[in-house]
Amino acid sequence: MQMSLDELIESAARRIRRYTPGEVAASDAAIVDIRSQDARERDGVIPGAHHIPRTVLEWRLASDDWRNTALDGRSLILSATTATRRSSPQPRSSSSAATPATSRRGAGMGPPD
């Protein structure tokens, strides 16, 4: 039986690890802010975070030509603005974990324009 869109979203949401600000501060992982420039201007920047917009994330982490080598081999915590359809129309800030940057190779797309 095929999953509905709501079931697919719920399944994906269960696999996201959310961190408290204290957990992030205690971690030696690199923080990657994937919010748009507009969101950063509206809501402020995260001190010490690497800004990589979501639209180019794969290239900056996995591409030999375009990757940010400062993130090679590091565990990453991604920070994004998300909205939950059912619970609230207001965006909320969240952070989630990713694997070390060098473990993802071959994103399968070309470099950004």
> CA–CA separation, 30 vs 57, rounded Å?
14
**Structure confidence at residue 101 (pLDDT):** 43
**Structure confidence at residue 1 (pLDDT):** 83
The structure tokens 């010490």 sit at: 48
Segment 20-44, tens digit of pLDDT: 989 998 999 999 999 999 999 999 9
Kindly compute the dihedral angle of the four CA atoms of residues 105, 40, 20, 67, in this order, to the nearest 10 degrees: 10
**Structure confidence at residue 96 (pLDDT):** 52
pLDDT of 62 above 50:
yes
**Structure confidence at residue 77 (pLDDT):** 93
